Structure 1
Amino acid sequence: MCDDSQGFSRRRSTSFMGSGRKPKNIVRAAVAAVAVVALLSGCTAAAPPTEPEPTPPPTTATVGVVGQFTSFNPETSQGATHANLAVSQYLHESFAYIGDDLQVTGNTGFGEVEKISDDPLTVVYSLHEGRKWSDGTLVTMEDLLFGWAVNTGWFDDAAYNEQGNVVSGTRYFDTAKTESLNSDTERAEIDTRKRIMTVTYDDPFADWNRQWLLDRPLHVVAQKAGVSAGDILRVIREAPKGDPEAPAEPNATLLAAGRAWSTGFDVDPAAPDLSGAVSNGPYMVESLQSDRLELVRNPVYEGANYPAIDRLTVRFFPDEQSQLDAVQAGEVDVANLGAVSEATIGRLESAGAEVLTGARPRTLSLIFVDEAERMDDTTREALMLSLDRKHLVEESVGGVNADAAPLRSFISSAASGSAYRDVIADNGSPGDGPDVDRATSLLDGEEPQVRIRYEPTDTVAADLFAEIARMAEAAGIDVRPAGDDDQADAELVSADVSGSLYETARQRVTEGAGGVDAVRALLEMRRSTDPEQVIEVGQDVDRALFDDLYGMPLVEASGVVAHSAKVSGVSYTSSLWAAPSQFWTWQPVK
Structure 2
Amino acid sequence: MKRISAAVALTAAGALVISGCAAGGGDDTGDDSGLVEGSSITAAWNQAFYSMNGNTSFGNATANNNINYLVLDGFNYYNNTPELVENTSFGTYELVSEDPLTVSYTVNEDVTWSDGTPIDAADLMLHWAANSRALDTPDFDPADFTDPDTGEFTEAFPTDVVYFDSGATPTSGLGLVSETPEISDDGRTITMTYNEPFVDWELTFASVGAMLPAHIVAKKSLEIEDNEEAKQALLDAIESNDAAALAPISAFWNSGFNFTAMPDDPELVTASGPYMISDYVADQFVTLTANPEYKGDNAANIEEITIRFIPDPLAAVQALENGEVDIIQPQATADITTALEAIDGITVNTGLGGTYEHVDLQFDSGRNPENIFSNPLVREAFMKTIPRQEIVDTLIKPIIGDDAILRDSQLFVPGAEGYDESIANNTSADYAEVDIAGAQALLAESGITNTEVCILYASNNPRRVNEFALIQASAAEAGFNVTDCGSEEWGGLLGTPGAYDASLFGWQSTSLGVTNSLPTFETGGINNLNFYSNAEVDDIISQLNVEFDAERQIELQQEMDRLLWEDFYGVTIFQFPEVTAFSDRVTNIDASILAPTIFWNAWDWEVTDGGSEE
Q: Does 1:363 align with 2:357?
A: yes
116-125 or 257-266, larger mean C-alpha shift: 257-266
Q: Does 1:279 align with 2:259?
A: no
| Aligned alpha-carbon RMSD (Å) | 5.1
Provide Cα deviations, 1:212-265, integer angstroms capped at 9, x if missing partner.
1852223334444325534653563575676xxxxx8623xx455445545554
Aligned counterpart in structure 1 of residue 295 of structure 2, from 302, 305, 312: 302
Cα distance in 2 for residues equivalent to 1:149 and 1:209: 17
Does the 8 A contact of 2:37 with 2:303 survive in 1?
Answer: no
Aligned counterpart in structure 2 of residue 93 of structure 1, from 63, 66, 73: 73
Does the 8 A contact of 2:48 with 2:309 survive in 1?
Answer: yes
TM-score relative to the length of structure 2? 0.64
User: Hey, what does 1:209 align to over in structure 2?
Assistant: 202
Cα distance in 2 for residues equivalent to 1:116 and 1:190: 14
Cα distance in 2 for residues equivalent to 1:80 and 1:391: 30
Q: CA deviation at 1:363?
A: 2.7
Does the 8 A contact of 1:451 with 1:480 survive in 2?
Answer: no
Cα distance in 1 for residues equivalent to 2:129 and 2:428: 51
Cα distance in 2 for residues equivalent to 1:547 and 1:372: 13
Q: CA deviation at 1:187?
A: 0.4
Q: Does 1:483 align with 2:485?
A: no
The AA in structure 2 aligned to 1:586 is W
Please give the secondary structure, in 2, of the residue aligned with 1:295.
strand
Q: Would the alpha carbon gap of residues 398 and 151 (structure 1) be closer, same or farther in structure 2, given more than 3 Å must change? A: same
Does the 8 A contact of 1:407 with 1:556 survive in 2?
Answer: yes
Q: Would the alpha carbon gap of residues 533 and 63 (structure 1) be closer, same or farther in structure 2, given more than 3 Å must change? A: farther
Please give the secondary structure, in 2, of the residue aligned with 1:580.
helix
576-585 or 348-357, larger mean C-alpha shift: 576-585
The AA in structure 2 aligned to 1:348 is L
Question: Sequence identity of aligned pairs in percent?
Answer: 22
Does the 8 A contact of 1:412 with 1:497 survive in 2?
Answer: no
Q: CA deviation at 1:157?
A: 1.3
User: Hey, what does 1:220 align to over in structure 2?
Assistant: 216
Does the 8 A contact of 2:333 with 2:395 survive in 1?
Answer: no
Aligned counterpart in structure 2 of residue 346 of structure 1, from 338, 341, 346: 338
Q: Does 1:459 align with 2:459?
A: no
Please give the secondary structure, in 1, of the residue aligned with 2:422.
coil
Q: CA deviation at 1:503?
A: 4.9
The AA in structure 1 aligned to 2:336 is T
TM-score relative to the length of structure 1? 0.66
Aligned counterpart in structure 1 of residue 91 of structure 2, from 111, 118, 122: 111
Q: Does 1:429 align with 2:424?
A: yes
157-166 or 397-406, larger mean C-alpha shift: 157-166
If asked which structure has higher relative contact order (CA below 8 Å, sep 6+), I would say: 2
Show the 5 A alignment for 1:26-65.
Answer: 58-65=38-45
508-517 or 562-571, larger mean C-alpha shift: 508-517
Q: Would the alpha carbon gap of residues 66 and 396 (structure 1) be closer, same or farther in structure 2, given more than 3 Å must change? A: closer
The AA in structure 1 aligned to 2:585 is K
Q: Does 1:569 align with 2:567?
A: no
Q: Would the alpha carbon gap of residues 363 and 450 (structure 1) be closer, same or farther in structure 2, given more than 3 Å must change? A: farther
Q: Would the alpha carbon gap of residues 200 and 178 (structure 1) be closer, same or farther in structure 2, given more than 3 Å must change? A: closer
Cα distance in 1 for residues equivalent to 2:49 and 2:472: 38
The AA in structure 1 aligned to 2:581 is A
Does the 8 A contact of 1:505 with 1:541 survive in 2?
Answer: no
Q: CA deviation at 1:289?
A: 4.4
Aligned counterpart in structure 1 of residue 125 of structure 2, from 145, 151, 169: 145
Q: How many residues align?
A: 497
Aligned counterpart in structure 2 of residue 312 of structure 1, from 305, 309, 313: 305
User: Hey, what does 1:23 align to over in structure 2?
Assistant: none
271-280 or 528-537, larger mean C-alpha shift: 528-537
Cα distance in 2 for residues equivalent to 1:390 and 1:408: 11
Does the 8 A contact of 2:52 with 2:64 survive in 1?
Answer: yes
Cα distance in 1 for residues equivalent to 2:438 and 2:165: 52
Provide Cα deviations, 1:408-466, integer angstroms capped at 9, x if missing partner.
4212435xxxxx7134264353699999xxx9xxxxxx999767999898534765899
Provide Cα deviations, 1:537-559, integer angstroms capped at 9, x if missing partner.
22332255568898875423323
180-189 or 449-458, larger mean C-alpha shift: 449-458
Aligned counterpart in structure 2 of residue 507 of structure 1, from 498, 512, 520: 520
Cα distance in 2 for residues equivalent to 1:503 and 1:450: 38
User: Hey, what does 2:178 align to over in structure 1?
Assistant: 185
Does the 8 A contact of 1:82 with 1:577 survive in 2?
Answer: yes
Please give the secondary structure, in 1, of the residue aligned with 2:89.
coil
Q: Would the alpha carbon gap of residues 140 and 351 (structure 1) be closer, same or farther in structure 2, given more than 3 Å must change? A: same
Does the 8 A contact of 2:356 with 2:573 survive in 1?
Answer: no
Cα distance in 1 for residues equivalent to 2:193 and 2:265: 38
Cα distance in 1 for residues equivalent to 2:575 and 2:244: 47
Higher Cα radius of gyration: 1
Please give the secondary structure, in 2, of the residue aligned with 1:144.
helix
Please give the secondary structure, in 1, of the residue aligned with 2:111.
coil
Cα distance in 2 for residues equivalent to 1:276 and 1:447: 54
Q: CA deviation at 1:501?
A: 4.9
Show the 5 A alignment for 1:357-436.
Answer: 357=350, 358-364=352-358, 393-402=392-401, 403-413=403-413, 421-424=416-419, 426-427=421-422, 429=424
Cα distance in 2 for residues equivalent to 1:553 and 1:186: 39
Cα distance in 2 for residues equivalent to 1:272 and 1:115: 42
Q: Does 1:250 align with 2:244?
A: yes
Q: Would the alpha carbon gap of residues 391 and 74 (structure 1) be closer, same or farther in structure 2, given more than 3 Å must change? A: closer
The AA in structure 1 aligned to 2:544 is M
The AA in structure 2 aligned to 1:397 is I
Does the 8 A contact of 2:44 with 2:310 survive in 1?
Answer: yes
User: Hey, what does 1:40 align to over in structure 2?
Assistant: none
Q: Would the alpha carbon gap of residues 389 and 65 (structure 1) be closer, same or farther in structure 2, given more than 3 Å must change? A: closer
Does the 8 A contact of 2:358 with 2:571 survive in 1?
Answer: no
Cα distance in 1 for residues equivalent to 2:308 and 2:541: 41
User: Hey, what does 1:19 align to over in structure 2?
Assistant: none
Cα distance in 2 for residues equivalent to 1:520 and 1:274: 45
Q: CA deviation at 1:347?
A: 1.0
Provide Cα deviations, 1:342-396, integer angstroms capped at 9, x if missing partner.
1222212323343333235233479999976859x9x99xx99xx9998974554
Q: Does 1:587 align with 2:609?
A: no
Does the 8 A contact of 1:164 with 1:178 survive in 2?
Answer: no
Q: Would the alpha carbon gap of residues 450 and 578 (structure 1) be closer, same or farther in structure 2, given more than 3 Å must change? A: farther
Unpaired runs of at least 5, structure 2: 1-34, 146-155, 364-371, 444-450, 456-463, 483-500, 524-529, 610-614
Does the 8 A contact of 2:354 with 2:576 survive in 1?
Answer: yes
The AA in structure 2 aligned to 1:421 is A
Does the 8 A contact of 1:360 with 1:558 survive in 2?
Answer: no
Does the 8 A contact of 1:360 with 1:556 survive in 2?
Answer: yes
Does the 8 A contact of 1:307 with 1:585 survive in 2?
Answer: yes
Unpaired runs of at least 5, structure 1: 1-54, 243-247, 415-419, 440-445, 470-478, 486-490
Q: Would the alpha carbon gap of residues 366 and 146 (structure 1) be closer, same or farther in structure 2, given more than 3 Å must change? A: closer
Cα distance in 2 for residues equivalent to 1:233 and 1:411: 43
Provide Cα deviations, 1:96-116, integer angstroms capped at 9, x if missing partner.
235568986543432334444
Does the 8 A contact of 2:428 with 2:565 survive in 1?
Answer: no
